[in-house]
Amino acid sequence: MLSLGSLSILLVLLLLQPTQLSAQDVLIRLAGVGRRNANEGRVEVFYNGVWGTVCDDEVDIKLSNVLCRQLGFQRSFTWAHSAKFGQGQGPIWLDNVRCQGSETSVAQCHFSGWGINDCTHAEDLGIICSPERRPGFPPVILEETASSSGQYPSQQRQRNPPSPPVQPAAPANSTSYSARGHEIALHRATSSSRRGGVSPRENGHEIQISRRNRGDSRASQHVNPALPRGHQLPSRLANSDAYRQRQEVARESPQAMRQELEVQANRQPHPQPPAQIHSERRSNRRQQLSGNHVEPDPVYPDVDLETDAQYTQGSERIYLEEARLRPVLSGNHGGLVTEGVLEVKHAGKWRHVCNKGWDLSSSRVVCGMLGFPAAQPLDQNAYRKLWDSKLADPSSRLRSQISKKAYWVEKVQCQGLEVSLAQCPAQLSLPRSDVPCRGGMHAVVRCVPGFQFERYGRAPAPPPVAPVVRLKAGPRLGEGRVEVMKEGKWGTVCDHLWDLNAASVVCRELGFGSAKEALTRAQLGQGTGPIHMNSVQCTGRERSIMDCVYKPVPLYTCKHTQDVAVRCNVPNTGIQTTVRLAGGRDHGEGRVEVLMEVGGAMRWGSVCSENFGLNEAMVVCRQLGLGFASRAHEETWYWPGSPDAREVLLSGTHCVGTEMSIQQCRRNGQVYCPRGGDGRAAGVTCVETAPDLVVDAQLVQESAYLEDRPLHLLTCANEENCLSSSAARMNWPYGHRRLLRFSSRIMNMGLADFRPRATRESWVWHQCHRHYHSIEVFTHYDLLTLNGTKVAEGHKASFCLEDTYCPDGIHKRYACYNWGQQGISVGCWDTYRHDIDCQWVDITDVRPGEYIFQVEVNPTLDMAESDFQNNVMRCRCKYDGARVYLFRCHAADAYSAEEEDLFDHQRQISNNNL
């Protein structure tokens, strides 16, 4: 039994024990240097009254997703290791964090313990989240602050913030910079296509000086939401007469003023989405300014009811969130709804739009939102007859609904350049009108589907003309890095002035709708080769990005870290409902089950795993909208399937990789699956990001040479089958072999580290060279005739896959010494020097002549990548019996079809760049 003294000591220790925060009380923020937006930065956690950082050990996309969702973002793009956003200060609170992906707070994940770590601040974790906010979370703006400290500065300023949980108070002696002096905010009036209807008071700039409270501690912690920010129009400028009247009322009766503000707060419109603000800022740059307006902000004691929403476009502006077409008569284009009655969502409720004033420009905007590149005029007589017949029917619900103003959006006016209806001026009801939509009916829209959606249910149709723009390495349909064709070569676009207008031109040119996002700073991976365009400026009406105004890119003025990308609106084809994953630990993995027509009825079934590889798995993951496939599983014993999908309905599946659904891939006419289904059915694991390996063509071209190597130095290479078959018939160890030697540098240009498929325990030991092989065949080296016949070959096993070189700011994570982990980090490369074994092609038996030299990395597609098309590098090779020349080395997808054909058949050297 414990003594009284022991109990006293135990009681004291319990009282000294710091209280543990619940998952809901754990606060996190993004901080650091080099941040471009509020959705990225170094992760900092508030615990025990102090801000600290998170170590980057064992980080994966699940942890990154949990952190982004806790911060209010929809998902994570990727994470950044090695203190990419600068080194923090204070403690490192979390290390070895492992999440399932479904947690609502990082505190619910498994980790070593608060403050228990073996890291330094050089390993501080950073994340990059998607800019889209989760429902219920306010927008955020970037606001630089100090790094980790014991104080609680606000890192991301929120607009219209909800009531937050109780947060740790700053020390009493700390003074926030936001509470000092005056704030000067510059405002620009929003542009309008109808300048005649704009009041002179709404045109120009406004300088607003607001006095901050120095003494109140609350003012030092919370930013007044009524302070205007950015290019927004204060409501007092929208109607200056009403504003002066409110000032007089305030002087006579402060209580009456407070009631007036409460009424306005209840009527405030929704805040503008980021896409809308982006487009309006672009139009503001082109607007002719006509004056300045300087007016101090009046101070109303204890009245803090105005919010940013009141400053958006005046009191008449409304925010139309979504749009949809309801097919009343027709418009079902092979499963796609391309025509119907327009319905828009405002304040969470669907409304009809009056067709009075509705035109083709407005229809184009709607079609762009729905994923279609263009709109078509249509004869509305049939819709008018149906409308009149319903009005004549006494039992029709339509008669009672159309008289209610809550049923209508009475006026929408678009120019056709907007990417969303949220950017178009709209009115819920017209003033001095008792009957809504008098003499009109609901608006009807007809859209034109893109070429790849015209053959719904079958493989996409090829484009009508050779494309001059393409998307690469995108995780989903309609997403990717933008590349354009110039002079027969594909190149990227630099991100200066890149905006939604230019992105929408690209999307519509490719057969999609308008752009959801215009991405910069290589957010979907870096490209290779030339950079063709910079400072692209489009109006939105161009048929091709090549019709826009742009500048050429002088050498060394722009880098591939500035490559642009887009996310386009795509039509709802419904193909994601014809495939599902069953039995997985999360929604991104499981046994593949497909919906197929069997005997005239639709049935669910499994997929035969024979010949089911990464190409097929990529199609499944893209069909589900889950990104890339990291694994294609041939056995799924550990994932129980659905009871109604035990039968194998799909076998012999072979996908090219461009299909939109697994049902569009080539397959057996009659199901034949010797392996059987159930536990041997096909499965996939999907991920948000993937690596992308690219061979440095320039290094191969510059480093190639011939060597006559004695046989007694090739014993180990012969054991690993690095010589041609004729070497076995030689009188070993006498004689020599002629080798085409070269160096190769393999770069990881993707958004995830490249790792071998086999774990370290499965690596194969080679006694002769005395090293492990993590990948048995990592690269193929081939010498081909001009008609494609292979005359010599070589291969390279991955005995050491490591970060040979990383650019400044990226920490090397993989090294082969001391049986270390193998892989290639994002942005780094692995170099195989020309003087190591098997880094050659044995050309002893090859006659002099002209050939094509080819290097292919990851040839068996064992490891997932975001783009397999750039894994092959090709060179023209001229061998005269004593010397070898390589020229025109390039990635296999870097040339146009015409240039590639010329490359294969041109029989002379076209320049002297050897």
The CA distance from 351 to 405, in Å, is: 10
Q: What mean pLDDT is predicted for residues 4-33? A: 61
Per the DSSP assignment, residues forming a β-bridge with 490 are: 485
The number of C-alpha atoms within 13 Å of 632 and in the hemisphere containing its C-beta is: 22
Q: Give the start-end residues of each E strand in 32-139.
A: 40-47, 50-54, 76-80, 92-94, 126-129
811's tokens: 């920490």
Strongest mean pLDDT among 72-81, 697-706, 757-766, 860-869: 697-706
Tens digit of each residue's pLDDT (9 = 90 or more) over 168-222: 444 333 333 333 444 444 444 443 333 334 333 333 444 443 443 434 433 334 4
Query: Which bin fits 63, alpha (ψ -120 to 50), beta or left (φ > 0)?
Result: alpha
pLDDT at res. 429? 85
The CA distance from 794 to 842, in Å, is: 7
Is the confidence at residue 295, as pLDDT, over 50? no
Is the confidence at residue 684, as pLDDT, over 70? yes
H or E element that contains 62: helix 61-70
Q: Where are the alpha helices (DSSP H) in 253-396?
A: 254-267, 274-285, 360-369, 381-392
Question: b or e along 14-23 (b: 16 or more beta carbons within 10 Å of the residue's beta carbon)?
Answer: eeeeeeebee
At 793, is the secondary structure helix, strand, or coil? strand
Long-range contacts of 134-137 (CB under 8 A, 24+ apart): 134/69, 134/72, 134/73, 134/74, 136/162, 137/72, 137/73
The CA distance from 84 to 95, in Å, is: 17
868's tokens: 């397999």
Least confident interval from 279-293, 355-369, 793-807: 279-293
pLDDT at res. 25? 64
Can you give the C-alpha Rg of the chain in angstroms? 32
pLDDT at res. 270? 43
pLDDT at res. 239? 46
Contact between 678 and 714 (Cβ < 8 Å): no
Q: What mean pLDDT is predicted for residues 873-883? A: 94
Q: What does DSSP say about strands 601-607 and 549-551: parallel, antiparallel, or unpaired?
A: unpaired
Q: Which residues contact 381 (CB under 8 A, 6 or more apart)?
A: none
Contact between 517 and 567 (Cβ < 8 Å): yes
Has this prediction a pTM greater than 0.85?
no
Sheet with 872-879, side-by-side order of all strands = 790-798, 775-784, 849-857, 872-879, 884-891
749's tokens: 């240009």
The CA distance from 103 to 62, in Å, is: 9
Is the confidence at residue 293, as pLDDT, over 60? no
- If pLDDT is split at 50, 70 and 90, which confidence band does 840 have? very high
Long-range contacts of 212-220 (CB under 8 A, 24+ apart): 212/178, 212/179, 212/180, 212/181, 212/182, 212/183, 213/179, 214/179, 214/180, 217/169, 217/170, 217/172, 219/179, 220/170, 220/174, 220/175, 220/176, 220/178, 220/179
**894, exposed or middle or buried, with CB in 10 Å at 0-12, 13-18, 19+?**
buried
- If pLDDT is split at 50, 70 and 90, which confidence band does 404 have? confident
Q: Specify the DSSP class assigned to residue 124.
A: B
The CA distance from 614 to 623, in Å, is: 14
At 770, is the secondary structure helix, strand, or coil? coil
Among all chains, which residue has been given the structure tokens 């003087």? Answer: 835
Among all chains, which residue has been given the structure tokens 């109006």? Answer: 539
H or E element that contains 247: helix 240-252
Q: Where are the alpha helices (DSSP H) in 31-81?
A: 61-70
Q: What mean pLDDT is predicted for residues 1-24? A: 50
400's tokens: 């009672």
The CA distance from 856 to 778, in Å, is: 9
The CA distance from 499 to 279, in Å, is: 8
pLDDT at res. 565? 97
The number of C-alpha atoms within 13 Å of 688 and in the hemisphere containing its C-beta is: 19
- If pLDDT is split at 50, 70 and 90, which confidence band does 914 have? very low
The CA distance from 556 to 906, in Å, is: 31
Tens digit of each residue's pLDDT (9 = 90 or more) over 103-130: 999 999 988 888 888 888 988 999 999 9
My answer on whether omega of the bond before 733 falls inside 30° of 0, hence cis, is yes
pLDDT at res. 154? 42
Q: Give the start-end residues of each E strand in 512-588.
A: 515-519, 531-537, 549-551, 565-568, 579-583
Instruction: For residue 772, give Cα distances in angstroms to 448, 762, 858.
Output: 57, 10, 18
pLDDT at res. 353? 95
The pair phi, psi for residue 388, each rounded to 5°, is -65, -35
Nearest residue to 481 via CA among 870, 68, 898: 870
Is the confidence at residue 289, as pLDDT, over 50? no
Tens digit of each residue's pLDDT (9 = 90 or more) over 524-551: 999 999 999 999 999 999 999 999 999 9
Q: What mean pLDDT is predicted for residues 694-717? A: 93
The number of C-alpha atoms within 13 Å of 272 and in the hemisphere containing its C-beta is: 28
Among residues of the chain, what percentage have pLDDT more than 70? Answer: 75
The CA distance from 119 to 57, in Å, is: 8
At 704, is the secondary structure helix, strand, or coil? coil
Q: Count CB-CB contacts under 10 A for residue 107.
A: 21
pLDDT at res. 457? 55
**623, exposed or middle or buried, with CB in 10 Å at 0-12, 13-18, 19+?**
buried
Angle between helices 274-285 and 500-509 (to 10 degrees): 110
Least confident interval from 24-33, 635-644, 761-770, 787-796: 761-770
At 616, is the secondary structure helix, strand, or coil? helix
Per the DSSP assignment, residues forming a β-bridge with 207 are: 186, 294
Q: What mean pLDDT is predicted for residues 363-388? A: 94
Instruction: For residue 464, give Cα distances in angstroms to 254, 376, 446, 509.
Output: 68, 19, 22, 11
Q: What mean pLDDT is predicted for residues 225-229? A: 40
Length of the chain: 914
Q: Count CB-CB contacts under 10 A for residue 283.
A: 17
H or E element that contains 339: strand 339-346
At 363, is the secondary structure helix, strand, or coil? helix
Is the confidence at residue 326, as pLDDT, over 80? yes
H or E element that contains 69: helix 61-70
Nearest-5° Cα angle at 110, 109 to 116: 120
Q: What does DSSP say about strands 790-798 and 872-879: parallel, antiparallel, or unpaired?
A: unpaired
858's tokens: 């990851």
Is the confidence at residue 241, as pLDDT, over 80? no
Q: What mean pLDDT is predicted for residues 509-517? A: 95
Tens digit of each residue's pLDDT (9 = 90 or more) over 57-103: 888 889 999 999 999 999 998 888 888 899 999 999 999 899 988 89
Query: What dihedral angle (degrees, nearest 10) is formed by the CA atoms of 47, 49, 53, 59?
Result: 10
Is the confidence at residue 275, as pLDDT, over 90? no
Among residues of the chain, what percentage have pLDDT more than 90? Answer: 47
The number of C-alpha atoms within 13 Å of 620 and in the hemisphere containing its C-beta is: 32
pLDDT at res. 588? 93
19's tokens: 């209280």
The CA distance from 553 to 544, in Å, is: 19
Nearest residue to 743 via CA among 624, 638, 886, 596: 886
Is the confidence at residue 720, as pLDDT, over 70? yes
Residues 177, 178, 184, 185, CA torsion sign: positive
Is the confidence at residue 307, as pLDDT, over 70? no
Q: What's the chain's average pLDDT?
A: 79
- Which amino acid is present at 18? P
The CA distance from 183 to 212, in Å, is: 8
Question: b or e along 555-579 (b: 16 or more beta carbons within 10 Å of the residue's beta carbon)?
Answer: eeebebebbbbbbbbbbebebeebb
